[in-house]
Every structure is written in C-alpha cells, then in structure tokens.
Structure 1
Amino acid sequence: MSNELSDKVAIVTGGASGIGRASVETFLAEGARVVIADINRELGESVAAELGPDALFKHTDVADSEQLADLVAFTVESFGGLHVMFNNAGIPTAMRGNFLDDDFADFDRIMAVDLLGVIRGTQHAARHMAANGGGSIINTTSIGGVQGGTGEFAYRAAKAGVIHFTKCAAIDLGRYNVRVNTIAPGAIPTPILGTATAHLPDSDSAVRQLRAVMKSIRPLDREGSPTDIAHAAVYLASERSAYVTGTVLPVDGGITAGLAGNAMAAIEQEQLA
C-alpha cells in the first residue's frame, strides 16, 4: 500500500460486512482513519475492535436523517474532520421472477435506505466539507441501476436514482470543492444476494444458479470481490481523482460493456474443426 489516504478521515456506511468492510480495511491500509457506520451493532463493534484504534464504530440507520447527522458529528469530534464519505449501505428487495407478482411490500424501506439514505448522507457530509475546504463523496449504486433487467424492481429504481442524484449533487457541490461520484458494482459475492432470495424454499441453490448466470455473461473470466470495489473507492477518495466528479464507475468485469459470448466464433469452431 502507498498511503494514498494518509491524514484523511472517512466514513463507510454499511461498513461492518461485504463491500463496506473491505473498504474500511483498505482505507485503513492506505493511511486513513475510519468510522464504521452500520445498523448491526454487535458486528460493527467487533470489526472496529479487531481493526484497531484508527477504526471506530457508530451505530447508524441510514434511513434516519438525525442518525446520519450524529454520525458526521461523531466523526468530526473523534478524528477532527471528515474528508471522505462512502455512502455504501444498502439492502436488497426480494427477487421476483415476474413483475406481475411483486407486491412492493418493501418499497418504502428500500427507498429509505438505498436512495434517501444516500441523499441525506451526502447532504450531511457535504455541509461539513463545504465549510472545511472540500472532500470526496462516494455513493454505491449497482449495475442494476445502469441497465435494465428483470427482478428487484424497487432496488433497480433506487439504484438508478442514486446515479442521477450523484450527477446532480456533483454539479451543485462543485463550487465547494466537494466531489461526488458513484461506483456500480456487478457480480460481487456478498450476503446481499442470499437476502434477496431468502423467500425461496432453497435460497442457497438459487444463489448458486444466479452466480452461474453472472459468470456466463461476464467478459472477464474471474469473479469480482469486495476488495475490487474497495480499490475503486480508494481511487475516488484520493487526490488521484481530484478532477473527477459526477461519474459512474462500473466495477463489474465488463458486464455493462456488453454480454459475453461470441456465437460466430462458436459456429466457426464447430464447422472448421
């Protein structure tokens, strides 16, 4: 590591597991001090204790604006400032195979966490940053917000909202030297897919099948990891991206570039063999 984030203070929401935890660990390795914000108090406290004095935990439900305000205040009080806000916390909707069968029972909670939580997290962090020389705000969207697809309709709508909001916030906050960008993960193995299929009789089997589908459409012949997202977050948090704002950075093995598979190559191979 090269201390890309030396002397910086960061918040990572959803920081106790998955992409969040990988980002916390990578930020720390790059020299930052980090507040882990998560709704899972037991896990968050355990992770912070494991990672040492430069990591603190703050119990936070990002759907609650007051808790987000308290999170920023806690960070500034504890570490003396805030330079990076990674609005990463998110929850899935139950995946349905047919739009006509979706009752949208979880719509309000999905929007409160995945979209409004990002909006409010950006606002509370930017209020401090704007008065203190600027900073970097990173929002987690999804390739499901970049391109259409079936299933997870509320989730996809929320993640698409994150993209458009990020661009709007980048325009508005540029005058304060506050940069706002978003990362679009794709086909990253985290617990979120199991949660999205938990309503099925055999969730584990469904997850394996979905992973196989992702593998078949991914141009890069390897599975991504939470650390791949963390490395992208370090870039957007660091001075290497000082002239980058309002962008959507897919980290998806090429899925949004186009689906893998070359039918003509397969035909040629068969006929010319």
Structure 2
Amino acid sequence: MLRAGFSKLEGKVALITGAASGIGKETATKFINDGAKVVLADIQKDQGQQTARELGPNAAFIPCDVTRESDVSQAVDFTVSKHGQLDIMYNNAGIACHTPPSVVDLDLATFDRVMAINVRGVLAGLKHAARVMIPRQSGVILCTASVTGLMGGLAQHTYSISKSSVIGIVKSAASELCSHGIRINCISPMAIPTPFVMEELKKYYPGVDAQKLVKMVHDFSVLRGAFCEPSDIANAALFLASDDAKFVSGHNLVVDGGFTSIKSLSLPTGDQL
C-alpha cells in the first residue's frame, strides 16, 4: 500500500484482536497505511486469513479465541517473535447478546459467556501485552468499550455491564502502567452497522431488509449530517496509538456525535399546564 507524507506509526508493531472484520479490520488498514506492521488475531480463521491477504505483506494472521488465555499469550508471543517487539495492543474482540430485557430474567450462563469475551478477554490482552511492554518501559494498549457502558437503557444489561467493566479496567490499569511508560485508553463508539451489529439486529428484526436496518442505526445519530462509521473508530485508535496522544492515558474517548451528552426535557407549553 502506498503512503504519502508523514506516517504516524512508522516502525511500530500492533496486535489487534477481533481484526477479521468491522472495526478491527478498519483499524488494521488504518495502522498499516500509517506505517505499522499489524498482526490480526481473530477466532474467525478463514475470514482472518482473507483479511490478512487483502491488507498485504505488512499484515499477518493468527487464530485466537480470547476466552483462552493461552491463545492470547501465544498471539503476543507470535507478534514479538515475528517482529521483535509489540508497541500497540488493541483489545477489540467482543460480542453482543440476545437476552430478555428484564434483569429478573437475566440468563447467567449467557452473562458468563459475554463477560468471558468482553471483559476477561480484554484483561488477558492487557496482561500479556504488559508482560512484554514493561521490560521495554513503553507501549500503548487500547480497548473497545461502548456508549452502552456509559448510560443505562441503551442495551441489554449483560452487554452494558461488560462494556462498563472495560472502562473500569482501563482506569484501574492506567494507575499502574503509567509508572512503566505505558499508556492505556479505551474508545466508546456509538452504534455502527458493522457485519457484527447487522447479524445481531437480524435476530431482533427477522425478515427486515438490511438497508432498513442500516438506516435505523444511522438514525440514532443526533449530529446532523453525520453518523458513526468504522473509520471514525479507526481514526480514534490511530490518534490514541500515536505520539499525538503521548500524554493521554486512562481516558475513555467517546465517539458518538454528542449522543451521551444530550438528555432533553419534554417540557410542556404554557397552555398544557
């Protein structure tokens, strides 16, 4: 891939989980275009290999189930073995869930599965990235959270709790990692019609045309003339991974067009009182 001008990640090596498609793939593309070598880690082996081929010689793929700590550890070791270092770890792998809306009907087996991927998987990535970054006294760790971790009522309890936990992990880990020169931050996106999101929506709206579902997601935006796209999250990740954010750590970068800043009051008019 051709790159013009200054490359923000020249000479850097990144490992991205959940990189076969969606936000992970978009971020890998962005990182490579800005000079990085990227290892894609994903449970989707065929799609991951195809994505690596698409992205060219600066991309490599390793199968990884983030619920298995050994897989995460091996992905980190593979990256260091192949490239000699790990500069950026992006814990992006995650799943949604289709569960009853009421906490009274909460399926704890589903809860455990979602937490194993969305929270334990992030912790495993953090742990093993820190293992190789601390001796070098440098590095960047990123995590994908969500606006659903900031406000109640935007998603089912299980998913919201898992993403709120990611934000907590970042805050907690930053307090230790700062003494080793390692920055850790997370990104909280608004809903995006990625393949992952579209598959979940089809469970709720079977038979509904895909374009209608895409429009529904885009209509969540409160910022006139714009909606959240994978490239917006990739741009946020590039900023946080680069020296542009050299003094940013423990931060949750919300990419939602102002959605979580707005709570309108439905005030009655004078003649309605």
TM-score of the aligned structures, taking structure 1 as reference length: 0.89
Paired residue for 2:107? 103
Partners of 2:157 and 2:73 in 1: CA distance:
30
Q: How many residues align?
A: 266
User: Aligned to 1:10, which of 11, 14, 35?
Assistant: 14
Partners of 2:56 and 2:214 in 1: CA distance:
36
1:227 to 1:216, Cα distance in 2 relative to 1, 3 A: closer
* 1:258 counterpart = 2:262: yes
Partners of 2:181 and 2:246 in 1: CA distance:
9
Provide the secondary structure at the position in 2 that maps to 1:243. Answer: coil
Provide the secondary structure at the position in 2 that maps to 1:56. Answer: strand
The Cα of 1:224 is off from its aligned counterpart by: 1.3
User: Aligned to 2:51, which of 26, 44, 47?
Assistant: 47
Partners of 2:206 and 2:44 in 1: CA distance:
25
Paired residue for 2:74? 70
Provide the secondary structure at the position in 1 that maps to 2:136. Answer: coil
Name the stretch that deviates more: 150-159 or 173-182: 150-159
The Cα of 1:105 is off from its aligned counterpart by: 3.8
Paired residue for 2:232? 228
The Cα of 1:102 is off from its aligned counterpart by: 4.1
RMSD, aligned α-carbons? 2.5
Task: Return structure 1 stretches of 4+ with deviation > 3 angstroms.
Answer: 95-102, 197-201, 203-211, 261-264
Partners of 1:216 and 1:17 in 2: CA distance:
22
AA aligned opposite 1:57: F
Name the stretch that deviates more: 212-221 or 23-32: 212-221
Partners of 2:73 and 2:141 in 1: CA distance:
15
Matched-pair contact (CA < 8 Å) for 1:99–1:151: no
Name the stretch that deviates more: 203-212 or 79-88: 203-212
% of aligned pairs identical?
38
For structure 2, the 5+ residue unaligned runs are none
Partners of 2:176 and 2:212 in 1: CA distance:
42
* 1:84 counterpart = 2:77: no
Paired residue for 1:246? 250
Partners of 2:237 and 2:179 in 1: CA distance:
22
Provide the secondary structure at the position in 1 that maps to 2:62. Answer: strand
User: Aligned to 2:151, which of 147, 152, 166?
Assistant: 147
AA aligned opposite 1:109: R
1:220 to 1:139, Cα distance in 2 relative to 1, 3 A: farther
* 1:129 counterpart = 2:133: yes
Partners of 1:231 and 1:65 in 2: CA distance:
29
* 1:160 counterpart = 2:153: no
Kindly provide the CA deviation profile for residues 240-263 of structure 1, in whole angstroms up to 9, marking residues without a partner as x: 11111000000111111115x797
Matched-pair contact (CA < 8 Å) for 1:197–1:203: no
Partners of 2:157 and 2:265 in 1: CA distance:
29
Matched-pair contact (CA < 8 Å) for 1:92–1:152: no
> 1:192-211 residue pairs with structure 2 within 5 A?
192-200=196-204, 202=206, 204=208, 208=212
Kindly provide the CA deviation profile for residues 187-208 of structure 1, in whole angstroms up to 9, marking residues without a partner as x: 2221232333444461646994
Matched-pair contact (CA < 8 Å) for 1:20–1:88: yes
Matched-pair contact (CA < 8 Å) for 2:66–2:121: yes
Provide the secondary structure at the position in 2 that maps to 1:106. Answer: helix
The Cα of 1:148 is off from its aligned counterpart by: 1.0
* 1:35 counterpart = 2:39: yes
1:63 to 1:216, Cα distance in 2 relative to 1, 3 A: closer
TM-score of the aligned structures, taking structure 2 as reference length: 0.89
Paired residue for 1:270? none
Matched-pair contact (CA < 8 Å) for 1:187–1:223: no
Partners of 1:207 and 1:104 in 2: CA distance:
33
The Cα of 1:27 is off from its aligned counterpart by: 0.2
Provide the secondary structure at the position in 1 that maps to 2:219. Answer: helix
Matched-pair contact (CA < 8 Å) for 1:36–1:44: yes
